[in-house]
Structure 1
Amino acid sequence: MKYIKDEEFLRGDCPMTKEEIRILSISKMELEENHKVLDVGAGTGSVSIQAAKICTEGKVIAIEKDEEALKTIYLNKEKFNANNLEVIEGSGGAVLATLEDTFDSIFIGGSSGELEEIIKLCHDKLNNNGTMVLNFITLNNVHTAMETLKSLGYKIQCTQVSISKTRGQSYMLIALNPIFIVCGKKTIEED
């Protein structure tokens, strides 16, 4: 599998899940080529595009409300020929309430202050044994996500990742923001 590098994406002024975090998050999503994937708060579409390239026989739906980000997603979709990617314009909660699809894996990259509601709506859209992966910078959101997933019966794990990279030709390391990757596995016991 070829992972797409940050510099390959068109970016503009939109937030983007950085390469190393994207690769770790995608691996935790446990994607198969026939999976249906949902990306809530898709930003530039980097996770959506990478998922679409893995799920070649499946489908990826990206939800985004920001106009600048939407322009960037459409440009990246075209650049990477991600024909199995559908972009839905709107806020996560509003769009999720109308979606009839169910998904094998869900990624939440942005929630615009509606995190608990979005997780609960995504729970209803996630297939049993599916994974929900969420990325955060703030401890508040980590706590909210883990408590919400726990209350819904998920098996949860949180990984904190710190990345530093050299800049230019020097050996000086520049640190990126630490990121928390929360992964929840939906397991409903059958009677």
Structure 2
Amino acid sequence: MHIYDKDFIHGELPMTKQEVRAVSIAKLQLEDDSVLIDVGAGTGTIGIEAATYIKNGKVIGIEKEEKGLEVIRENVKKFNLDNYFLIHGRAPENIPEINYDRMFIGGSTGGMREIVAHFMQYSKKNSRLVINAITLETLSSSMEILKEFGFKDIEVVNLMVGRGKKVGPYTMMYGENPIYIITVVKEEKI
């Protein structure tokens, strides 16, 4: 079930908005038993919502910022999740060396190449990698890195959301930040 922004605890921290979250999770094409690595988990909204879809799988969230960790813990408790595991650390050095089939990158702190290398080494065949990029620089460098690793079929979606707000008797549309959602699938011959 989709979780609305208003249902998450997030305090003053920015979070992935519900429309972007819905598309990003759809691009992951989660299975009931998927193992998702959520890199740069932030407030945890992607991984937490994903955990509600994978009843026989698990989500491993990796976040370096203490404020984000606190919010994630509160939301894991709020949604009563026993399949979400949180690691305080940075990627790729704190990503567990386990087999997994899904990875979401919401933040890489300059370690994108090494994180993709981890994906290539530890993810299973037909695993899906989804990257959300807010800046053109992140989009550009992500595309270059994915090509270096041999990905040829790189899907990029640009999502722009406008939200209506009441201004007197009128409704005006205000735009959220546009986001790029990049998706690749690890095939056997890459």
Give the aligned partner of residue 175 of structure 1.
Answer: 175
Map of 1:29-40 to 2, 5 A cutoff? 29-40=28-39
Q: Tell me the number of residue pairs that the alignment of Structure 1 and Structure 2 aligns.
A: 187
Root-mean-square deviation (CA), in Å? 1.4
User: SS of 2:187's equivalent?
Assistant: coil
Q: Which runs of 5+ in 1 are unaligned?
A: none
User: What is the CA deviation profile of residues 34-77 of structure 1, one whole-angstrom value per residue up to 9, with x for unaligned ones?
Assistant: 11111000011101111100001111100001000000000000
* Superposition misfits of 4+ residues, deviation over 4 angstroms: none
Map of 1:178-189 to 2, 5 A cutoff? 178-189=178-189
> CA shift at 1:123, angstroms?
2.3
TM-score (norm 1): 0.93
Give the aligned partner of residue 143 of structure 1.
Answer: 140
Map of 1:2-13 to 2, 5 A cutoff? 2-13=1-12
Matched-pair contact (CA < 8 Å) for 1:115–1:141: no
Separation in structure 1 between the aligned mates of residue 91 and residue 14 of structure 2, nearest angstrom: 16
> CA shift at 1:5, angstroms?
0.4
User: SS of 1:171's equivalent?
Assistant: strand
Separation in structure 2 between the aligned mates of residue 157 and residue 20 of structure 1, nearest angstrom: 18
> CA shift at 1:100, angstroms?
1.9
Matched-pair contact (CA < 8 Å) for 1:116–1:144: no
User: What is the CA deviation profile of residues 102-159 of structure 1, one whole-angstrom value per residue up to 9, with x for unaligned ones?
Assistant: 2111000011122222222222222111100000111111111112112212231111
Map of 1:36-55 to 2, 5 A cutoff? 36-55=35-54
User: SS of 1:167's equivalent?
Assistant: strand
Give the aligned partner of residue 21 of structure 2.
Answer: 22
Q: Which runs of 5+ in 2 are unaligned?
A: none
Which of 151, 158, 164 matches 1:160? 158
* 2:6 counterpart letter in structure 1: E
